[in-house]
A and B are shown apart, each in its own frame.
Chain A
Amino acid sequence: MKNDNFGKKVVGLIRDNTVPLMFILICAVCIPISGFSLPYLINEIVTRMGRNIFLILALLIPIMSGMGLNFGMTLGAMAGEIALIFVSDWQIWGIPGVVLAMILSIPISVLLGAFCGKILNMAKGREMITSYILSFFMNGIYQLLVLYIMGSLIPIKHFSIKLPRGYGIRNTVSLLNMRQCLDNLLAVRVGGVKIPVLTFIIIGVLCLFIVWFRRTKLGQDMRAVGQDMGVARDAGINVERTRIISIVMSTVLAGFGMIIYLQNMGNIATYSSHSQIGMFCIAALLVGGASVDRASIGNVFLGVVLFHTMFIVAPKAGAVITGDSMIGEYFRVFVSYAVITLALIMYETKKRKHKSLVGQQLQQAQKEADAHE
């Protein structure tokens, strides 16, 4: 009997963690084939952890309030980029530049986040597709701003970032004087592996903030809204406002995350840096075992490690197996999309199963009540 229970538990555990297990398998196969040395791999993964975790953590709050995966985090990324463009135009470099960019990004993020929240409140039940389309829509507005308005209406002084025609921003804005300034401050080398301690401290602070925030009144409200909007409203929670706040917080955090990401990269690809960021962050989170309605900080860390290991080794492994490096490139793109697809499908089927279960229980209860009469 006990054994049976144990077996069931194992099966349940495997079923709940299909995606991470699949990824562990992929990585286990690809790492030896790729032939990368362990220190190299660890170094790469640590770098990518510092680069990406903050961004992914920004996704947690909307999940808490039941708004699903926030594809609108791209909006925050745009805010971060706009702030960085200004700061690099003013030639403020190093840590002060990063801090100033973060401060500058806040009002832009709040504005964009509030707009996003308003729109999503009008599209309850299909937040994800709406936020996804919204990110495309905002990309158009962003292009309008950066390509036409900056330099013509908004003064941009520096010629290194302005297009030769006199207005608009160049395709890449170099952040060379800001490159890895957060990562290098307090960096520690352990056996050839550079650990960006300060970046990890910032990430740690954010993790603590999220843990603390879950226990505050607002955090509890968000969870209540995420559980059931109707019940939350009856309990006197302003559902619309709570949802907007959760998106605003996510957008602001995504803005910060993008600045951390870009200071590590060392340059801004003005028109493409933000476009893929949402997809990769969401894929990484899902790889860590999160689902559309449930995600923890542990999922973020596990996801980053697994997803980026795959990302590093897949092209090389693909090249070794098939003799064509493009296969590996396409493979990792395919896997990112497939993971999101799979997670979305699992979430929807689970939701439907749950719904029908509740229906059956209701029916049962009604039958019993009838029998009593």
Chain B
Amino acid sequence: MSGNWSRFNIASIVLGFAFLYLPIVLLVIFSFNESKLVTVWGGFSTKWYVSLFHNQGLMDAAWVTLRVGVISATVATVLGTLAALALTRYTRFRGRILFSGMVFAPLVMPEVITGLSLLLLFVAVGFDRGFLTVTLAHITFSMCFVAVVVQSRLMTFDRSLEEAAMDLGAPPVKTFFQITLPVILPAIVSGWMLAFTLSIDDLVISSFTSGPGATTLPMKIYSQVRLGVTPEINAACTLMIAVVAVGVIAASVANKRREVQRARDEQAAQRG
């Protein structure tokens, strides 16, 4: 759809984005507040960042979160990609409806239900709650998001590329690794990033499935937030935002650069 971009359209976008970004911007600003009162500006200071790094509890939680995030995102990406392949490439197999239901349901499933059910599973099979159980839980819910991202890429994938490879003598497995995988790689990478952020964000499922020694950063932040809003939390949040923002912006800049380079190559080729 296109047409005239009216003043009303622009206004609604500007207001909408203001609504989306203002709270985050304010949070970041007040992390540099000298005063302990979060809402009264008392001058610029970075002291909360300093005290943050001396808070051993928060630092430990951050380390746990990072490890859980990397491991679970990686495993979830493998499983999610397989699930996406199964959904797009095999239109009929026994239990396909159940399978696609299990892939899509976790996207909207209330976290309290997922968290509770996983906990009860771990208790039933006798897993000790801790690092392993949190990681398993994160793999389970984030693999579904990866599956959706990769699936949408696979749906627009030109199957004749694979057919060409097989026609030229590559067996299916080789075709997958040499043709399919490189083409869908950007979707897999963004699937990994999505899984990673979901993991480092998660509070509810982690709270249900973690045990002693496996407190994640969101759990730590949550328990402090309940006691009151402090600039130290603002500082911790700002750092998390910064990490994510740098990652996302770097990814999109790299992407953009690739596109620009590609466009330039194409132009050169046409002039050629």
The answer to whether A and B assemble together is no
B interface residues with partner A (beta carbon < 8 Å)? none
The residues of A with any CB-CB pair to B shorter than 8 Å are none
